[in-house]
Amino acid sequence: MADIQLGCHTVRSHGAKLARLHMYDWIILLLLAVLDGLLNIIEPFHRFVGRDMMTDLSYPLKGNTIPFWAVPLVAILLPWVIFVGIYFKKKNVYDLHHGILGILYSVLITAVITDAIKDGVGRPRPDFFWRCFPDGKPNYDNITTDVICHGEKSIIKEGHKSFPSGHSSWSFAGLGFLTWYLAGKLAAFDRKGHIAKLCMVFLPLLVASLVAVSRVDDYWHHWQDVFAGSIIGLTVSSFCYLQFFPYPFDADGIWPHAYFQQLAETQSNGIANSYDTRPTAIEPIDEGYDAIALRDSSLILDTMESGRR
């Protein structure tokens, strides 16, 4: 069914219809963005950090190998470029719209989950000592041995957001969605044994993995933070992709569900129109007495009737 074409479905011809149909989805998407912004504003839970715990929290304070602004470029804009390229080639606005909407939902749902857990857990980062004591002179409560930080408040606040890793979850949310998308478009599971397709499918996951590993190398996260963030992102991306697209190994895995629904609707309307415009013929039917019956001369019904016979 993937090869059926009933004309192009472009932004001009079907864009307005799609926008109206998914208006509430876009509104909810904006609400998720606002919610994630609020989660980044509130103060995270300040977990107890005692003197004896500082051994594992005294790694050097470094910059980011992958800066924060680069993560949306890799996780969102890069897949968008691929979506747009396929649209210009195939002229399927359903694929373009659901690809963009799906990946935005994947990233934003992941972001809300990640930041909510960050604020609730408040796990200190591996470099927390230098965030708390930038001059290298520690200060602890004499009774509880809890830290008494004298560093910059914003840096200390960020130091309580280690679990889970946002870089990792965002990367796997966006690039995990792209992996599903490429698997469907390339028909990676067509049982023809083309390993090159799998290499292309797994490439986004490799990029996401390198982003995640960089967080441990920079001492911004413990390995458990990166692992948990990756699982969250990959799980959410899977749910979001399958909300809009069939499984990649499905016969119709190349295009979204809405596209095939539109094809079915177009075909059914065409059949209905042909039925409505067919003239009816009045034919006498000998049933033992004088009678007439209305019989539709539609070729479609003729075919259906012959099949029943």
* Residue 3 token pair: 């090869």
pLDDT in the model for residue 272: 54
Residue 283: strand pairing partners: 293
The model's pLDDT over 127-138, given as tens digits with 9 standing for 90+, comes to 999 999 999 999
Helix axes 93-121, 257-277, angle to 10 degrees: 150
Give catalytic residues, as residue numbers.
167, 221
Helices (H), ranges, the chain = 11-21, 23-41, 70-72, 78-90, 93-121, 128-132, 153-159, 166-185, 195-217, 223-244, 257-277, 299-308
Q: How far apart are CA 130 and CA 60, in angstroms?
A: 7
The model's pLDDT over 217-248, given as tens digits with 9 standing for 90+, comes to 999 999 999 999 999 999 999 999 999 999 99
In DSSP notation, 82-119 reads HHHHHHHHH-BHHHHHHHHHHHHHHHHHHHHHHHHHHH
Q: How far apart are CA 200 and CA 202, in angstroms?
A: 6
Asked whether the predicted pLDDT for residue 259 surpasses 50, the reply is yes
Asked whether the predicted pLDDT for residue 85 surpasses 50, the reply is yes
Residues near 164 by Cβ (< 8 Å), separated by ≥ 6? 114, 117, 118, 225, 226, 228, 229, 232
Q: How far apart are CA 39 and CA 62, in angstroms?
A: 24
End-to-end CA distance of the chain: 28
3-class DSSP state of 30 = helix
Residue 269 pLDDT level (bands cut at 50, 70, 90): low
* Residue 307 token pair: 């099949």
Long-range contacts of 149-155, Cβ-Cβ distance < 8 Å, separation of 24 or more: 155/131
Nearest to residue 187, comparing CAs of 242, 233, 255?
A: 255
Domain regions of the chain by residue span: 11-262, 280-309
Residue 303 pLDDT level (bands cut at 50, 70, 90): very low
Q: How far apart are CA 26 and CA 35, in angstroms?
A: 14
Q: How far apart are CA 257 and CA 252, in angstroms?
A: 8
Bigger pLDDT: 26 or 274?
Answer: 26
Asked whether the predicted pLDDT for residue 3 surpasses 70, the reply is no
pLDDT in the model for residue 270: 57
pLDDT in the model for residue 118: 97
Q: How far apart are CA 114 and CA 163, in angstroms?
A: 8
Lowest mean pLDDT among 10-19, 117-126, 144-153, 268-277: 268-277
* Residue 179 token pair: 């992996």
Asked whether the predicted pLDDT for residue 68 surpasses 60, the reply is yes
Asked whether the predicted pLDDT for residue 185 surpasses 90, the reply is yes
